[in-house]
Chain A
Amino acid sequence: MTRFVFRAFARVRLLLAIAVPASLVAAVAFSSATAAPIDVDKSVIEAQDQRITAIKKVFPAVVAVCMQGGQGVGSGVLISPDGYALTNFHVVQPTGPLMQAGLADGVLYDAVLVGTDKVGDVSLIKLLPKDKANPKPFPFVALGDSDKVRTGDWSLAMGNPFSLAMDFTPTVTYGIISGTNRYQPPEGKGLLEYTDCIQIETSINPGNSGGPLFNMQGELIGINGRGSFEKRGRVNSGVGYAISINQIKNFLGHMRAGIDTDHATLGASIGTANEDAPLTQMVVKQVLDGSDAERRGIQEGDQLLNFAGRVVTSTNQYKNILGIFPKEWRIPVTTRRNNERHETLVRLMGNIATEKETQPKVDAPPPPPKAKLPAPKGGGDSEVAKLYVPKKGYANWYFNELERDKLLGEVKKQGDFTSFTGAWVAEGKYEMGERKGDFRFELTEGKDADPIVNLKLNIEHKLAPLKDTDRRLQAEPIGSGGLMLALYQWHRFLTKGAKGFEGLFAHGGTEPFYPYPVDGKNPKSLADLRTDCAVLKTKHGSTESKWFFSEKDHSLVGFETFTDKEREDPCEVFLSDYKAVDGTKLPHRIEVRFKDKRYAVLSVSKYTLGKK
């Protein structure tokens, strides 16, 4: 520490020495200026005003990320009044889950890691208010739309380069956007891959990592994280990169839920048909066995036309589009084979193989300070340490429980089913292609208190979910992907909640969900169906399910139940037409889909919810 202070002091002295002649020059310029006022173009004044306004607006929300003890390691930015802030993963890598964060007001706050996106090099941290009983809201910035950023736009980068500001006042640099939708390959075992990122000439230097990039309206458009360097050393080389805020938005739900997130692969390798051809054509080179891409009918040689609503023209472009999505998201993909277009939703696969789960060895992590630090404030039993709970697959399990319980609290407002633990009956009409008729679903308890599902769609089906563990039985009725098992899971979810899922009951972040049009027609574009949802993931026995809650009103719009997650598509259940039933709300239209096809639509006319 002493060494650092000394060096910092030396810098200050040097600065002062230079500042003297500079201020002299300024003084001379001023005296002549008063004699004949400079006629400054109006647009210059306007641009200056815009700059000052933007900087003033966002200045207080810029964070200096520090080790415990206050040694600076990077930058960050607050995005909510309750203290959530974005930074780089490679900035919090040396700090561990507990860190400190300084704001422009000169105050150093305790902070804790919330969620991480290692591949994307982003982490979410949370600052703790000083007065816990009466917390003051933190200053924060608005998230912009990075898809609107264009080459040549002006931008502002802020942060704490060279850990320069001992009082945490951010440094502001100003420059233009050099390029958009840039691809920069991963560093070290597939991590720190910058996809669809923003290239800037706005000066960023060591210590700027994790800090914000703003447009001239003061909206957050990116997180500064790396640069291209070569012979000139690791300082600004005129080429810096910021992770686009639109990519971060896709991962924000996961990070808020304390998840150690992962990016995705398609399950098929894509390449140019002929590297030497005048114009590129992207084709499927290979399809991974057992991948969702294979099950969706994507084949080797298919031409890839459109991915997530964007036209694919080059390998970089493809990597850009793929790289902004978390694993397991379903993304519309359009391919062409024999002049026939085919659009389908592909469930993306994980990117980080299990062996990569070990801590990454990156090329140049910000070195933790070598100088002796004062004993870290707050040991294991400090206030901030209570907010950290380690768990495999999670950056911080504490925040998963927090978000999960918050979501469940919202869901419960729509109906509390905990007392309806008796038999459930639902009756109404079913439609199955040309076939129509009455349906009846009943869930009761057998002799030894084991659940039994009865489902009548003209033909009667029966399943004892805990005894019939054979996957073929679980997948009945044939063609439904396991509707009885799915309905059993649903009942269990509503009545038992967390207690019903011994294997897993976790928040799964956010995912798009695609409910099909009620009229059964094929939509023009699958992307139009997208409904953004918060997700819960459960596991009971060997059955995994995913529950989708609309971000708009927290209603359960559907769920997926997997009889065999590795090899088979799930039974997809879409719930709508919610109506009041016994003081709760239940869906009166249930659409069941399996393997891209509608299996049946159940129109419920009556629910009977038994109590014990």
Chain B
Amino acid sequence: MLVGTLESETGNVKLEPPETTMNMRYGTWILAVILAVPFNAAPAQAADPFNELAKKTNQKMVKVFGAGGFSRLNNFGTGIIISPDGHILTVASQLLDTSELVVHLYDGQRLKAQVLAVEPELDAAIIKIRIEGKKIEEPTGLNLDYFDFAEAAKRPHAETGDWVLALSNTFEIALRDESLSLQRGVVMAYAKLAGRRGVFEFPYTGEVYIVDAITNNPGAAGGALINRKGELLGVIGREIKNSLSDTWMNYAIPVSAKVDIKETVKVKDKDGKEVDEEKTITVTMPDFVAKGMKGEYRTVTRPKTALGEGGYHGIIFVPNILERTPAYIEDVVPGSPAAKAGLRPDDLVSFVDGEPIGSINLFNTWIKKNTRTGQMLRVEVRRGEALQTIELTLGAHTAKPTPPPQPTPQPK
């Protein structure tokens, strides 16, 4: 198993009698009440044979394997084939931060893939299968079953109450020629989503399909949400928590996703003076896919994006009391990347990836700006009289413990 290190996190656990059950039961009941209406209003062919649909859709999808496998980050995901030549739509996760990206086709073929385009605003990425010995621009010679994305994006979005099916490699159950997992549900809402990914803000702010099936488990991101005709509705998103209710969301980013990004840019007015001007950039999934497949997509850059936390190093500096406190290490967190790499108390951090570091503040800013989880960092420290070069691989910040869910108040 590739998730060996995640055993405690993702391991299977047997069903045991519960400690508490109230919240869940309450939730289920509310759901039942909501669902009762569309069920009656729109009679559904409940006896649909989904077998063929599942089989056909499975042939239009891949299992994706890439970077990860440590600290709550999965190294597995799902992708949707959008061209016979092997273009694949998936989510813009850390999975893609590798030169060793691999996909498994429905028939068990294991092939390499390469990232063509990424758009964090849509949380989407396009990758392409690359045949050994061929260039990425060259045709792969594959003739795969695929979803016509442009056609899919033209259709009106599914309505609340519509039946949907989800196919994904949830929990990495499938490898090679094993089929993806099928789930079925109902669209509960088509609405904007306020979510957080663990403790971080979620980049996508457009509309999503919220579904009543538990679709967004580890590895499911990049899976397909389809209707009962087998038409593509959306891409199953990464695991995110609703920041309001602290519950995990089950959602998909629709094929017609659209995001308006407002940003202020400095422009020169007629007098040649610099002034702020508000500008709206619209990013759409169909545009991203069309250009991305041709390799012509330019990722929208947002100069004012809030800084992330950067990768996790585990260095504890001396108290930062001055504007320019020298970056002396006071301690390292046991088991952290810094500890593993051999950084020690009293080391003075002098250069990071060749950049001179004059203070703790500079170090922190540099880390936030330039690094992320899984990245290799070259740190030069002054130890005694000598400069030493130490390489460390940044980890992920551990999620801060979330408060236990509050008991739901009883409705009156």
Binding site for B on A (CB under 8 A): 10-11, 14-15, 17-19, 21-22, 25-26, 29, 38-41, 43-44, 46-48, 50, 72-73, 88, 90, 150-154, 162-163, 175-179, 181-182, 184-185, 187, 192, 199, 201, 204-209, 224-232, 234-239, 241, 276-280, 313-317, 362-367
Contacts and interface: CB of A to CB of B under 8 A. Distances in A.
A241 B181 CA distance: 12
A50 B45 CA distance: 13
15 contacts: A14-B410, A17-B410, A17-B411, A18-B26, A26-B36, A50-B47, A151-B179, A152-B50, A176-B183, A179-B182, A237-B214, A238-B213, A313-B176, A317-B177, A317-B178
B43 A41 contact: yes
A209 B109 contact: no
A21 B252 CA distance: 31
Given A14-B410, A50-B47, A228-B173, A236 B18 contact: no
A573 B276 CA distance: 96
Contact of B109 (A178, A207, A229, A278): A278
B55 interface: yes
Chain B CB count within 10 A is highest, among A41, A236, A238, A277, for A238
- Shortest Cβ-Cβ A-B pairs, 9 listed: A238-B214, A152-B50, A47-B46, A47-B47, A152-B51, A41-B43, A366-B16, A228-B171, A152-B54
A101 B170 CA distance: 35
Contact of B22 (A10, A21, A48, A177): A10
Interface stretch (B6-14, B262-270, B304-312, B315-323): B6-14
A73 B111 contact: no
A11 B22 contact: yes
Interface string B215-250: 101100000000000000000000100000000100
Contacts of A48: 46
A58 B140 CA distance: 53
B398 interface: no
Given A25-B33, A237-B217, A363-B11, A179 B174 contact: yes
Given A178-B181, A363-B11, A207 B17 contact: yes
Given A231-B248, A363-B14, A179 B181 contact: yes
Contacts of B24: 235
Given A18-B26, A201-B183, A314-B176, 16 more contacts: A38-B43, A40-B43, A88-B14, A151-B50, A151-B182, A153-B51, A178-B183, A192-B14, A226-B14, A227-B12, A228-B217, A229-B12, A230-B217, A230-B218, A317-B177, A364-B13
Nearest to B40: A38
B178 A316 contact: yes
A280 B108 contact: yes
B29 A15 contact: yes
Interface in B15-43: 15-18, 21-22, 24-26, 29-30, 32-33, 36-37, 40, 43
Contacts of A276: 110
B405 to A, nearest CB: 10
Contacts of B36: 25-26, 29
A365 B14 contact: yes
B13 A72 contact: no
Contacts of B179: 151, 179
B386 interface: no
B175 interface: yes
Interface residues of B, number: 62
B46 A227 contact: no
Nearest to A153: B51
Contacts of B173: 179, 182, 184, 199, 228, 239
Contacts of B382: none
A482 B269 CA distance: 106
A184 B1 CA distance: 10
B175 A316 contact: yes
A581 B47 CA distance: 61
Contacts of A177: 182
Contacts of A181: 178
Interface string B373-402: 000000000000000000000000000000
B53 interface: yes
Nearest to B42: A41
A314 B50 CA distance: 26
Interface string B88-123: 000000000000000000001111000000000000
Contacts of B354: none
A17 B25 CA distance: 12
Contacts of B21: 11, 162
A201 B213 contact: yes
B157 interface: no
Nearest to A72: B17
Contacts of A225: 14-15
Contacts of B174: 179
B191 interface: no
Which of A11, A163, A175, A229 has its CB near the most chain B CB atoms (within 10 A)? A229
B109 A279 contact: yes
Contact of A232 (B32, B33, B248): B248
B22 A14 contact: yes
Interface in B168-225: 170-171, 173-184, 213-215, 217-218
B44 interface: yes
A205 B14 CA distance: 9
A230 B9 contact: yes
A18 B180 CA distance: 37
B50 A239 contact: no
Given A175-B184, A227-B12, A228-B10, A314 B43 contact: no
B133 interface: no
Given A15-B25, A40-B43, A365 B175 contact: no
Given A47-B46, A153-B51, A228-B12, A235 B29 contact: no
B55 A151 contact: yes
A201 B12 contact: no
B183 A367 contact: no
Contacts of B17: 72-73, 162-163, 206-207, 366-367
A44 B217 contact: no
Given A18-B30, A239-B173, A227 B15 contact: yes
A38 to B, nearest CB: 6
B248 A22 contact: no
Contacts of A365: 14, 16
A521 to B, nearest CB: 36
A73 B16 CA distance: 8
Interface in B143-176: 170-171, 173-176
Most chain B beta carbons < 10 A, residue from A39, A154, A362: A154
Contacts of B110: 276-280
Contacts of B45: 41, 43-44, 47
A226 B25 CA distance: 20
Contact of B182 (A178, A184, A362): A178
A363 B15 contact: no
Contacts of A15: 25, 29
B49 interface: yes
B176 A280 contact: yes
A366 B14 contact: yes
B54 A207 contact: no
Contacts of A10: 22
Contacts of A228: 10, 12, 170-171, 173, 217
B54 A151 contact: yes
A367 B16 contact: yes
Contacts of A38: 40, 43
A152 B45 CA distance: 14
A461 B298 CA distance: 90
A237 B214 CA distance: 6
Contacts of A22: 29, 32-33
A40 B46 CA distance: 11
A201 B217 contact: no
